[in-house]
Chains A and B, each alone.
Chain A
Amino acid sequence: MEVFDISNQVNNSAPIKEQVEELSGEKVKKCYQCGKCTAGCPVAFAMDNPPRQILRLLQVGLIKEALESNSVWICASCQTCYARCPRGVNIPRVMEAVRIMAKNKGIMPEKNIKLFEDLFLKSVENNGRVHEMGLIVMYNLMSMQPFKDVTLAPKLFLDGKISPFPHKVKNPSEIKKLFERVREKEKGGHA
């Protein structure tokens, strides 16, 4: 009997699938579609394609559908699926890989989540440590919701939980250089 590999039935999907597998270090064909990941996923209620379906889309080569899915953004990396998967598939790494690829292609169905993450990393790149108050103020302004959580601010401020001044590492340029070296390595094809 001829072995029929259902993967790669969609034209030109193989290279992109390989990229997902390289980025995540995981083989999507390991998944046998039992659905345990989706059953335990605490955010499946908000996903267009819950984890099992994302794996299936990748298996059959429907990469575009996976890349455009909101699921990879909604995934909170709680690791429940990975802890329970009987095949040991590191699903959060797969979600993460698809999300990074979507980002690189400019596909961002969850703009605020992307914005929050970018501002978080900007704060780390500039100071070496994240400046919570600066992050939230920038996020609120740039996501066009300037008054979000504003009622919480006075208490946080009086309790010394937020400060207008960032904590920094001694030499922030060291961290900037670290970020730069990561970018260089990744350009050179390092996972």
Chain B
Amino acid sequence: MTRTRPITALLCALLLNSCGSNDRSDSGAERVSYNCAANAVEIKSLQAEIPAFADSTGVEISLQPFSGQEKLYAMIAAGQPPDIFYTNNVLRDKLAAEGRLLDLRSLSAADPFTDRLWPDVYRQGLSADGGLYSIGNWSFTAGVYYNKELFDKAGIPYPDTSWTWNDLLGAARRIAARTNASGEPEHYGIFIPSHFIEVFELMNGAPVGDQSLFLNFSESSLEIYQQYLALMNDRLMPDLRRIQAMGMQASQLLQSGKVAMLVEAVPHQVLFETLTIPWGVSPIPRFGNRPVRCFRSESGGLSISSQTANPEAAWKALKWIIAGASIYQPNPVLRDADFVAGWEARYPVLSGSGFREVWQRSLNHPAGDPRMFVRFSSWTSATILERLQPMLDKLWARETTIESLVAAQPEINRAARAELTRLIQRGRLDQKFVEAIEEQLRKASP
């Protein structure tokens, strides 16, 4: 018993020490907290550079590397939000409408930094009320990754920028022609994860609804659904459900030689680091004579809390994270960054892989859609997806038809309308947002 006493005392002392207040001595620097969704490699790199940034600017960034939506909400509800945090488009609009985010327009207007951003990055941060509530911190496009060996074996030339959807189908068909004893193709032609269908819809001319509050299946979208189902019915693509639900499946699928082509994000670090097969990547093919549409997308950006004590310091820190921290350089959201060269230096395998061509195409995108992955405006997306997603699941399982999907559209939109009405009636939203929503409601007459 007596022998454990010193240990207990030591434990207590350590405990008191580490539970004590966080009032670390300050050198008069302004402190900005950054709640970052970053992995250990990024954190380590950021931590190494923060002191130098503090020395040159007087802004000390304290990292909060543990993030989650519940956590962020708890912090905001308790009145202690981080100064800078990541928001996706949905979260951003919701928080902005409740007055929780700083409108960055006044800070960005006078700042040459803003000129360094691609216009779409800037545009995407704009919200329903015209305010700027986030700055995109990363962006990507999509491409068709292909297994060179399988193309060589089938005697097909590699895909390139001239390819159309029909070229892709033809190649897929030839690769999947050889079947095994049970009638399954030895190699499937292609795999397109379902959340990439939108890219093809856009290529096929589907309208880009920037702030669309309601579900509206266009002819060109339905055509793509048909094509997508045909891919599975014709055994050019493996059954969607067999492949889903695994964080690492995309890479595995291509690596295994089970599919010859895979549609995925570009850049895609997992693919770059783990593929050991010879591979290349080419742009998403266009449809017949339809014009090529280019896209780059962000899943979101960095926002500043409206409660921040020092907006200037937070803005400096935000700019540094995007354009200064070496782990994120060259950052594709910056016009003056040579993204391709930087990544080719990081991953030699990218040289001559087609990465340069894919990325080049994504840069010519004044008419492109930067919101590739955000289908509906934040206000109704949950309401619509909650109803639409199970139907789409059923459609891909071929348990329902495209017709019944279309037939459900009015019902789903009624629910969206009810949700909007509820939001307005609740009467907590900023007036600017209420007006923006009301206008949308008027535009989409029932």
Chain B binds chain A:
no
Residues in A lying within 8 Å of B, measured CB to CB: none
Residues in B lying within 8 Å of A, measured CB to CB: none
